Amino acid sequence: MPFEYAPAPESRSIVDIKASYGLFIDGEFVDGHGKSFKTISPSTEEVLAEVAEADEADVDAAVKAARKAYDKVWSKLPGRERAKYLYRIARIIQERSRELAVLESIDNGKPIKESRDVDIPIVAAHFFYYAGWADKLEYAGRGTDPQPLGVAGQIIPWNFPLLMLAWKIAPALACGNTVVLKPAETTPLTALLFAEICQQADLPPGVVNIITGAGGTGQALVAHRGIDKVAFTGSTEVGKAIARTVAGTDKKVTLELGGKAANIVFDDAPLDQAVEGIVTGIFFNQGHVCCAGSRLLVQESVAEELLARLKRRMSTLRVGDPLDKNTDIGAINSAEQLARIRELSAIGEAEGAGRWSPECELPTTGFWFPPTLFTDVTQAHRIAREEIFGPVLSVLTFRTPSEAVEKANNTPYGLSAGVWTEKGSRILSMANQLRAGVVWANTFNKFDPTSPFGGFKESGYGREGGRHGLEAYLK
């Protein structure tokens, strides 16, 4: 019973995308020495802009600008003054929130309701939160005279482009560091708009430098001798490569990597709420979420009932134009990512799991994948072990709490987990036993600047957010 909706598109007129963008170094947009690349809209495949690809010389220039700004300006500025710059940035983000949300949805493909109601508000909140820390660092529990590290090299992914920028830049600046940040190759535009916001805020030149590029640019940044800190969010594979690159140096590293979270539903859980949580867990942001609840572990006695309700709910999800306010699931971020999701889903079928998607009309241009679930998944299946990073849910069952814990922890990852039960003591017991950095009980995929986020095991190390997030940028 498909619902009929009239389209409710958000206007694109608020954004002004330039034909080409340079690199933001030392407070100015400059031409890079390298080639350029195109960033496209994943929902239409239209070319949005040409963006400079920073080469080693550009990375070097950016690091030098950051060093100069650190030595001459930022490290000498009292915390209370740094705070005011960060408050200014937070305010400008709030003022320009609709523009940022629309641009994010165009470049990334995520639904406007998510960029508008989740990403951008948390971006502003993150700057606002860390602004307040800048002049209170001696109360952060890290001694009476905590010191910044120097220049931070920061590399962020494409799934939450501006939010990941905020998670990196806000605490770094609050602690007195300067930064060179590389946004993801497929989603550079909001970071470049953020550079303009830094100009509007009169942030001293060189404190924030934004260099666009692909893997090679990132490698040059990580390997640069002039940086004191590497902060990376992205795949576990690249995270390991970074850990190897910095081995033997004094560079401090934080890594926020992949996940394969278990979302555990007990038989006493409020099933309709659990269904909402499962949907949020895996279909939020097209499943392009490192902490996505990609493994549903459901207690055998309610599995049938839960799956029926889940399928009915999935049938109401609307896939399509990211700028339509009705859209629940937007575009897959890139052709490459779509190919990976298709490949792993095909493997899931080939290995014997049962594949199901609701009737779902997909647009003809752009990159799309319907919400999908697999039943009869075993722990040995690749779709139960590997991060798919798409709207694909693997369903497994369990009988006892200890079996649920064992299955949930049976992964090299350890980023997040979900527990659904009405029994409080069981929640606390599960939370104790789950080897994951974030445990959502009777909720899922909630984020807040005050709440530390980060993983156990191969999901990386260090925390972002909260008082704990300061540790990554202080010595």
Question: Looking at 198, 290, 291, 360, which residue is catalytic?
Answer: 290
Catalytic residue among 10, 53, 114, 256: 256
- 26, 205 in Cβ contact below 8 A? yes
Choosing from 30, 77, 317, 427, the residue that interacts with another protein (CB under 8 A) is 427
Q: Based on the residue annotation, tell me whether 256 is a catalytic residue of this protein.
A: yes
Told to check if 180 binds another protein by CB under 8 A, we report no
Minimum distance from CB of 246 to another protein (Å)?
8
Tell me the per-residue interface mask from 133 to 172 with another protein, x by CB under 8 A, - otherwise. Answer: --------x-------------------------------
Output the smallest distance, CB 256 to another protein, in A: 11
Q: Which is nearer to another protein, 30 or 241 (CB)?
A: 241
Exactly one of 163, 291, 458, 473 binds another protein (CB under 8 A); which one?
Answer: 458
Would you count residue 422 as binding another protein (CB under 8 A)?
Answer: no
Question: Which residues face 321 on adjacent strands?
Answer: none
CB nearer to another protein: pick between 245 and 357: 245
Kind plus residue range of the DSSP H or E element containing 375: strand 372-375
Residues 6+ apart with CB under 8 A from 200: 92
Binding track over 12-51 against another protein, x by CB under 8 A: ----------------------------------------
Of positions 69, 149, 457, 470, contacts another protein by CB under 8 A: 457
- Residue partners of 411: CB distance under 8 A and separation at least 6: 260, 262, 385
Of 302 and 441, CB closest to another protein:
441
Separation of alpha carbons 468 and 463, rounded Å: 6
Q: Among residues 44 and 429, whose Cβ is nearest to another protein?
A: 429
SS3 154: strand
405-437: burial string, b at 16+ Cβ within 10 Å, e else? bebbbebebbbbbbbbbeeeeebebbeebbebb
Instruction: Select from 166, 184, 179, 182 the least CA-distant residue to 229.
Output: 179
270 makes contact with another protein (CB under 8 A)? no
Choose which of 77, 243, 317, 347 interacts with another protein (CB under 8 A). 243
- Is residue 234 involved in binding another protein (CB under 8 A)? no
The SS3 call for residue 15 is coil
Give which of 140, 145, 212, 162 is closest to 182, Cα–Cα: 212
- Residue 463 as a binder of another protein (CB under 8 A): the answer is yes
Please select the residue that binds another protein; options are 154, 190, 236, 397, rule is CB under 8 A.
236
In the complex with another protein, the residue whose CB is nearer, 74 or 284, is: 284
- SS3 of 145, please? coil
Q: What angle do CA 261, 263, 269 make, to 5 degrees?
A: 165
412 binds another protein (CB under 8 A): yes
Backbone angles phi, psi at 125, to 5 degrees: -60, -35
Please report the beta strands in 41-108, taking only residues with DSSP state E, as ranges in sequence order. Answer: 47-52
Does 248 bind another protein (CB under 8 A)? Our answer is yes
Nearer residue to another protein within complex by CB, 303 or 441: 441
The span from the CA of 293 to the CA of 362, in Å, is 24
Q: How far is the CB of 415 from another protein (least distance, A)?
A: 11
Where does 312-415 show beta strands of DSSP type E? Answer: 354-356, 372-375, 392-398
**One of 86, 291, 438, 472 touching another protein (CB under 8 A):** 438
Q: Is 441 one of the binding residues for another protein (CB under 8 A)? A: yes
Residue 331 corresponds to which amino acid? Answer: A
Rounded to the nearest 5°, which phi and psi values hold at 206?
A: 90, -15
Distance from CA of residue 20 to its chain's centroid? 25
Q: Are 430 and 418 in contact (CB under 8 A)?
A: no
d(CA 33, CA 51): 12
Per DSSP bridges, beta strands 354-356 and 372-375 are: antiparallel
Rounded to whole angstroms, the Cα distance separating 168 from 232 reads 9
Which of 123, 255, 302, 408 forms a contact with another protein (CB under 8 A)? 255
Among 254, 340, 299, 244, smallest CA distance to 426 is for 299
Please report how close the Cβ of residue 454 comes to another protein at its closest, in angstroms. Answer: 7
The reply to whether 453 sits near another protein by the rule CB under 8 A is yes
Q: How far is the CB of 155 from another protein (least distance, A)?
A: 16
Q: Which stretch binds another protein (CB under 8 A): 66-74, 162-170, 335-343, 435-443?
A: 435-443
- The answer to the question of residue 72 lying near another protein (CB under 8 A) is no
Rounded to whole angstroms, the Cα distance separating 420 from 298 reads: 9
Residue 382 or 468 with smaller CB distance to another protein: 468
In this complex, which beta carbon is closest to another protein, that of residue 186 or of residue 421?
Answer: 421
Q: Shortest Cβ distance from residue 437 to another protein (Å)?
A: 6
Binding site for another protein (CB under 8 A): 125, 141, 236, 239-241, 243-244, 247-248, 250, 255, 257, 412, 427, 431-432, 435-443, 446, 448, 450-454, 456-458, 460-461, 463, 466-468, 471
Catalogue the active-site residues. 256, 290
